[in-house]
Chain A
Amino acid sequence: MRMRLIVAFIVVALLAALASSWFHTLIESYHLPAGLREVVMGPNWLRSVVHGYAGQSPPRPVHHTALVFFGAEAGLLLAVIATAAIAASTPVLRPVRRLARAAQRMAGGDLSVRIEPRGRDELAQLVTSFNGMAAALEDKVGELQQMEARARQFAGDVSHELRTPLTAMTAVTDILYEHPDLAGDAATAARLVHTEVLHLNRLVEDLIEISRFDAGTAQLVTDDTDVAAVVDRCLRTRGWTDVSAEVPAGLTVRLDRRRFDIILANLVGNALRHGALPVTVTAGLQADGHGGPRLTVDVRDHGDGLPPSAIPHLFDRFFKADTARARSEGSGLGLAIAWENARLHGGRIDAGNHQDGGAIFTVSLPGGGAELYGGGPRLRYGRGRAVNRNTSCYTECMANTRFSISTDPAIQKAIKAHAEAAGLDVSAYMVTAAIAQMAADDAASAVFTPLDAENASALAEAAEMSPAPLPALEDLTAEEQHLVLRVMRSALGSEGSGEAGVA
């Protein structure tokens, strides 16, 4: 816009210059009053300069002198005009730019933006209208958000209120249902009431669960979880013995066990109800380019698969894929809840059809705390030189993993010094008398304490008290080895990955 103004100014100036040159003879011959004459024809000293040059007797003024003179005059004029144009346009353009920035911020979501109107011209009016529009928009959006919050709160409140009458009904339905004197229609009616009350209970439970996600009060309680164990338990407690699970042993990921169980139970339940056997659960760890390892769990069935039109809506609340089918025993919120549980972990669920038939649901969760190798617990170790017959030293030196376990703090100190000198990073752990006792008691418990100056002396005393021989690591049971692995992992934190396993 500035360019346009400058160009307009220049055109006007040129026209004015042309006009004055066209009519200069008129000006010359007009008898103007003295003061005005000087204004119109230029001050005397300027005229004498110009005419002095122009009126030079032959030879005529050389071309390039005149050109230079003319060029200087034109250049000066252009500069003056351009400056005038810029000066005139700036006070117009600045508020326009401010308006544009404000509009951009609003588009980005900041509805509170307002501009100070300056002056009383059309631009100021525009700014005032803008402010009015922004205020109206902000109010409207606020109102809509409040309405949505109220609706969600209402759903949650209703569900809570429903619990009270349901308590009495749940307590007594099976009295009716199991009553020996009821027969015929009465017995059927009692059975119906019983089933529906239980159904209602499940619905209310699910509604309350969903309302917690909406209110933002759902919390994640994570712990290092053995995935195979959770999957197995999930299937066993529900009696799903014909579902096969392929989960690598020793795969441990930081999960909210309860919520993971809910996700799995919903997906497997759906597979059994709406799909067909065989149903398989496969889990594994995958390296993700950016965020580290991810736990993926696939639940697959061999039924007819999902209708493609339903796939984008599967996780919607109360969505039923087959509306013609009689209603299922679920609440219609199962997948929505599973999805929210996955999202709470920072993960997702994807639904689709397997290329060989049947539906496949893939849960993908961040694999924090996961063992990258995904294999069983493996402890590679070597025997160091024993300082005395009663203690041994196990040193594990590999690319990223260095653990040294001993009951003798002196040995540990020596190892640490040696490792530091060699530029290796060795984590030295003191084993208390407990591990020596461990093999004897067959109790899978041990205490490992990081070696540092402070506790070294205290531990030295403790170690003296029980000079029992250390069991060889290969003499530990798989469970105990797994335990040792877990302790090391938790002691080192999530950075301490790269443990190896039993050779």
Chain B
Amino acid sequence: MATVLLVEDDPAARQGLELALRRLGYGVRAAETGEAALRDVRDAAADVVVLDLMLPGLDGFEVCRRLRRDSDIPVIMLTARDDDLDIVGGLEAGADDYVVKPVEPRVLDARIRAVLRRTVRTDSPAETYGELVIDRGSLIVRRAGQDVSLPPTELRLLLVLSGSPRQVFSREQLLGLVWEHDYLGDSRLVDACVQRLRAKIEADTSQPRYIQTVRGFGYRFGPV
């Protein structure tokens, strides 16, 4: 049973979401502020963080950035405004996905499960592409001999793309394969994730070798 760390300052919303998540079968720890959330994550492991963006004190973006610095724990943003700025900011801060408040429990459930599924392992030998080594069995990615720490969504994106090298995937296809969104979802999720992934595995992000953009189509792994 997975544990969710819920970070939400409004007491009614926090109580309601906590109740709903428990009914869905998750263990829930609730934090009122960003600082409390960071402390909690240090003390005991959670499987996924559901993070409200508008928090007093340390805002959601900063909490996400700090979480990302130390761990690969999946983060789902809770945003009351589906304004561009909020979403793009959250994605750049390292969130894996987002839901818009008010959110129906089944939607939140689907997102949490999707994000937890991203770290599923398979039995395959490690593959080498230039300087990059991808081990699907242990889910370890190495670049030039160094381990690269990737949160679940970036890892899954890399696995999906590298699973079919030189095949072009459209943003829509990636939304379905990586995020498991079934509506005409936000392709910004894909773009932001690609940016973050490139920052970690490309030697020169302005001339990407591994994750290449095919203009008018989408993205493709290689050719290296």
- 9 further A-B contacts with Cβ under 8 Å, apart from A163-B102, A170-B105, A437-B166, are A166-B102, A168-B10, A168-B15, A168-B16, A434-B166, A441-B166, A445-B167, A447-B214, A487-B216
Contact B84 A219 (CB under 8 A): yes
Chain B residues with CB below 8 A from A445, complex form: 166-168, 214, 217, 220
Contact B184 A169 (CB under 8 A): no
1/0 contact trace for B1-26 toward A, CB 8 Å? 00000000010110111011001000
The 26 sampled A-B contact pairs (Cβ below 8 Å) are: A160-B80, A160-B81, A163-B102, A164-B80, A164-B101, A167-B12, A167-B16, A167-B80, A168-B10, A168-B13, A168-B17, A170-B102, A170-B103, A171-B13, A171-B17, A171-B105, A174-B104, A204-B102, A237-B183, A258-B184, A434-B166, A441-B166, A441-B167, A443-B167, A445-B166, A486-B216
Measured CB to CB, the nearest residue on chain A to B108 is A171
B70 at the interface (CB under 8 A from A): no
Contact A171 B16 (CB under 8 A): yes
Contact A443 B19 (CB under 8 A): no
Measured CB to CB, the nearest residue on chain A to B185 is A258
Chain A residues with CB below 8 A from B12, complex form: 164-165, 167-168
Contact B103 A167 (CB under 8 A): yes
Chain B residues with CB below 8 A from A204, complex form: 102
Chain A residues with CB below 8 A from B39, complex form: none
Distance (whole angstroms) from the CB of A407 to the closest CB of chain B: 15
Contact A169 B182 (CB under 8 A): no
Contact flag A171-B183 (CB < 8 Å), given A164-B13, A219-B84, A486-B216: no
B164 at the interface (CB under 8 A from A): yes
Distance (whole angstroms) from the CB of A37 to the closest CB of chain B: 96
Selected from B83, B166, B215, the residue in CB contact (under 8 A) with A490 is B215
Contact A237 B182 (CB under 8 A): yes
Distance (whole angstroms) from the CB of A129 to the closest CB of chain B: 49
Measured CB to CB, the nearest residue on chain A to B218 is A445
Chain A residues with CB below 8 A from B167, complex form: 441, 443, 445
Chain B residues with CB below 8 A from A261, complex form: 184
Chain B residues with CB below 8 A from A447, complex form: 214
Contact A167 B17 (CB under 8 A): yes
Distance (whole angstroms) from the CB of A463 to the closest CB of chain B: 14
A138 at the interface (CB under 8 A from B): no
A5 at the interface (CB under 8 A from B): no
Contact B20 A172 (CB under 8 A): yes
**Residues of B at under 8 Å CB distance from A?**
10, 12-13, 15-17, 19-20, 23, 80-81, 83-84, 101-105, 164, 166-168, 182-184, 214-217, 220, 223
Contact flag A443-B166 (CB < 8 Å), given A164-B13, A167-B10: yes
Chain A residues with CB below 8 A from B216, complex form: 224, 486-487, 490
- How many angstroms from the CA of A237 to the CA of B172 in the assembled complex? 15
Chain A residues with CB below 8 A from B217, complex form: 445
- How many angstroms from the CA of A445 to the CA of B221 in the assembled complex? 12
Contact B102 A171 (CB under 8 A): yes
- How many angstroms from the CA of A224 to the CA of B218 in the assembled complex? 12
Distance (whole angstroms) from the CB of B183 to the closest CB of chain A: 7
A320 at the interface (CB under 8 A from B): no
- How many angstroms from the CA of A433 to the CA of B102 in the assembled complex? 50
Chain B residues with CB below 8 A from A171, complex form: 13, 16-17, 19-20, 102-103, 105
Chain B residues with CB below 8 A from A168, complex form: 10, 12-13, 15-17
Enumerate the 8 nearest inter-chain pairs by beta-carbon distance, A residue then B residue, closest first.
Answer: A168-B16, A171-B16, A168-B12, A170-B102, A171-B20, A166-B102, A490-B216, A167-B13
Contact A175 B102 (CB under 8 A): no
User: Taking each of A167, A172, A204, A487, which has the highest tally of chain B beta carbons within 10 Å of its own beta carbon?
Assistant: A167
User: Taking each of B12, B23, B105, B184, which has the highest tally of chain A beta carbons within 10 Å of its own beta carbon?
Assistant: B184
- How many angstroms from the CA of A172 to the CA of B166 in the assembled complex? 46
Measured CB to CB, the nearest residue on chain B to A217 is B83
Measured CB to CB, the nearest residue on chain A to B52 is A167
- How many angstroms from the CA of A108 to the CA of B179 in the assembled complex? 54
- How many angstroms from the CA of A219 to the CA of B87 in the assembled complex? 15
Measured CB to CB, the nearest residue on chain B to A487 is B216
Contact B80 A172 (CB under 8 A): no
- How many angstroms from the CA of A204 to the CA of B166 in the assembled complex? 44
Contact A163 B19 (CB under 8 A): no
Chain A residues with CB below 8 A from B81, complex form: 160
Distance (whole angstroms) from the CB of A224 to the closest CB of chain B: 7
Chain B residues with CB below 8 A from A257, complex form: 184
Chain B residues with CB below 8 A from A172, complex form: 16, 19-20
User: In the complex, which residues 170-216 of chain A have their Cβ closer than 8 Å to any Cβ of chain B?
Assistant: 170-172, 174-175, 198, 201, 204
Distance (whole angstroms) from the CB of B28 to the closest CB of chain A: 12
Chain B residues with CB below 8 A from A164, complex form: 10, 12-13, 80, 101
Distance (whole angstroms) from the CB of B130 to the closest CB of chain A: 17
Measured CB to CB, the nearest residue on chain B to A198 is B104
Chain B residues with CB below 8 A from A169, complex form: 16, 102
- How many angstroms from the CA of A170 to the CA of B84 in the assembled complex? 24
Chain B residues with CB below 8 A from A258, complex form: 184
User: Taking each of B13, B17, B103, B182, which has the highest tally of chain A beta carbons within 10 Å of its own beta carbon?
Assistant: B13
Distance (whole angstroms) from the CB of B187 to the closest CB of chain A: 8
- How many angstroms from the CA of A186 to the CA of B206 in the assembled complex? 62
- How many angstroms from the CA of A28 to the CA of B196 in the assembled complex? 113
- How many angstroms from the CA of A437 to the CA of B103 in the assembled complex? 46
Distance (whole angstroms) from the CB of B214 to the closest CB of chain A: 7
- How many angstroms from the CA of A160 to the CA of B216 in the assembled complex? 35
Chain B residues with CB below 8 A from A163, complex form: 80, 101-102
